[in-house]
Amino acid sequence: MPSLFSGYRLGGLELPNRTVMAPMSRVRAAAGGLATPSMAAYYAQRATAGLIVAEGAQPSLVGQSNPGTPGLSTDEQARSWRQVTDAVHTSGGRVFAQIMHGGRISHPETTGFQPVGPSAVPGEGNVFTPSGPQPVPVPRALATDEVPEHVRSYADAARRAVDAGFDGVELHGANGYLISQFLSSNANLREDRYGGSVRDRIRFAVEAAAATAEAVGADRTGIRLSPGGGFWGVVEDDAVELNTALLTELARLDLAYVHLEATADEETLLLLRKTWPGTLIVNPTLPGGPRWTGRAEADHWLDLGADLIAFGRGFLANPDLVERLRIGLPLAPADEATFYQGGDAGYLTYPTYRHPA
C-alpha cells in the first residue's frame, strides 16, 4: 500500500505527498468576485498539501451560487487570482482552481438573473442571498441551443485560471450543482439530446470535460463527482449505471483525475475505481458520518486503490495538517460559526501546532 506521505506524479506535477486540500467555499471574495490578499495568505498557509483545490469559482455571472464567492468569468477576476497562485507557488505548493456553475442553486438577488438549469425544477432548501437565506427559486430551463454556451463557460474559465497561474482546474460535477443537475434523474426532465437516457444525461458533463481538456490540456483537467449524493434535492435513481457510463466516457479523455466523494456505499465506489483507469482522489467523509477524514480513513482508501486522499475540515482548521498526520499530533477543531462569516477570524487565525515547552 502506498504511504500517504509518499510522492505521486499527477500529470506534469510532482506531488510530495498524497494529501489533497478539498475545495471549500469560504465566501471571502471582494466585490466583483475578486480574490484578495487574505485568500492568498490562506492558501499559502496550507501549501504543504500535495495538491490544493481552491474553492469553487463561478465561470459566469448566472453561474454564481452564493454571494461572496470568487469568479473566473472576467479577465479582472483572473488577474486577482495571480496573487493566490504566486503565494502558493512561492510557498512550495501546487494549486488547481475549481470551476463551479451553480445552475439552479442560485437566486436573482445574488446575480440579477433567474437561475438556469436543465429543467424548470427547483432544488430543495434555502440558498444564501445578500438579504439572507431564501428558498431556491424555480430555474429557467435551458434551450437546447443555449447548452453549448454553458459547456464553453467551463473551458473559458479554465483558460483564465491557467493564465492566472493555476496548475490546472477541477470541474465541480458534484453536490447538486449544474453538472450534477444534468446527471440527475429528477432535476433533468429534458427530452432532447441532454436528457432522458443515461447516455444523454451524461452528455453535458462529458462535453464540459472535453471542452476544458481541449482548452488547457487533459493533464490539467480533473472533475469532482458525488455518485448517488442527494445534495439540494438531486436524485440519481440509477447511480451505478450512470456513474459507470460517465467514467467510461471520461476515461477516453485521459483526464488528470477523478475526485469522488464517498456519497455511495463502498461496494459502489470500488466498482467505480475499477471503471476509472486513471488517478483517483477519494474524499472519504460520508454525509452523516465522521466529522473528519483522519489518518485511518486515508490509509483505508489508499489500501482500496485510491491514489490521493482529499481532506476538508482537517485542512481548514489545521494549516499544518500534513505534519500533524505524519507524526500523530492532535487536530484542532474547526469553528463552524466562522465558515462563511467573512473576515480573517477563523480563516487566517488557525495556528500551526505548538509543542509544549
How high is the pLDDT of residue 278? 98
255 in a domain, yes or no? yes
How do 140-141 and 95-99 pair as beta strands? unpaired
Domain with 323, as residue range(s), is 8-338
In contact, 310 and 283? CB cutoff 8 Å: yes
For the cut 70, the answer to whether the pLDDT of residue 287 exceeds it is no
Write down the pLDDT at residue 293. 81
User: Which of 226, 147, 139 lies closest to 184 in space, CA to CA?
Assistant: 226
3-state secondary structure of 324: helix
Question: Considering the domain boundaries, does residue 113 fall inside one?
Answer: yes
Q: Could you tell me the pLDDT band of residue 181, with boundaries at 50, 70 and 90?
A: very high
Q: Which range is least confidently modeled, 113-117, 221-225, 283-287?
A: 283-287
pLDDT value at 289 more than 70:
no
Give the least confident one: 191-195, 277-281, 345-349, 350-354: 350-354
* Structural domain total, the chain: 1
pLDDT at residue 250 is higher than 70: yes
Would residue 273 count as lying in a domain?
A: yes
Task: State residue 326's pLDDT score.
Answer: 96
CATH classification of the domain holding 232: 3.20.20.70
356 within a domain of the structure (yes/no): no
How confident is the model at residue 179, as a pLDDT? 98
pLDDT at 152: 98
Specify if 2 maps to a domain. no
pLDDT, position 13: 98
pLDDT value of residue 244: 98
This prediction has a pTM of 0.96
Average pLDDT over residues 11-33: 97
**357 within domain boundaries:** no
Mean pLDDT of the chain: 95
Of all residues in the chain, the percent with pLDDT exceeding 70 is 98
Catalytic residues: 177
Summarize the confidence of residues 332-347 as an average pLDDT. 93
Sign of CA dihedral 180, 185, 186, 187: positive
State yes or no: pLDDT of 131 exceeds 80.
yes
**pLDDT at residue 185 greater than cutoff 90:** yes
Average pLDDT over residues 183-188: 97
Cβ partners under 8 Å of residue 320, min gap 6? 48, 352, 353
Q: Are the C-beta atoms of 18 and 4 separated by less than 8 Å?
A: yes
User: Is the predicted pLDDT of residue 291 greater than 80, yes or no?
Assistant: no
pLDDT at 285: 72
Q: Which residues, 6+ apart, have CB-to-CB distance to 166 below 8 Å? A: 54, 81, 85, 95, 96, 97
- Residue 1: pLDDT band (50, 70, 90) is confident
**134-150 confidence digits (pLDDT tens):** 999 999 999 999 999 99
Measured N-to-C along each axis, helices 239-251 and 203-216 cross at an angle, to the nearest 10 degrees, of: 30
Q: Is residue 1 part of a domain?
A: no
Task: Answer whether residue 344 is part of any domain.
Answer: no
Instruction: Quote the CA–CA distance of 349 and 343 in Å, as a whole number.
Output: 10
Q: Which residue has the higher pLDDT, 336 or 1?
A: 336
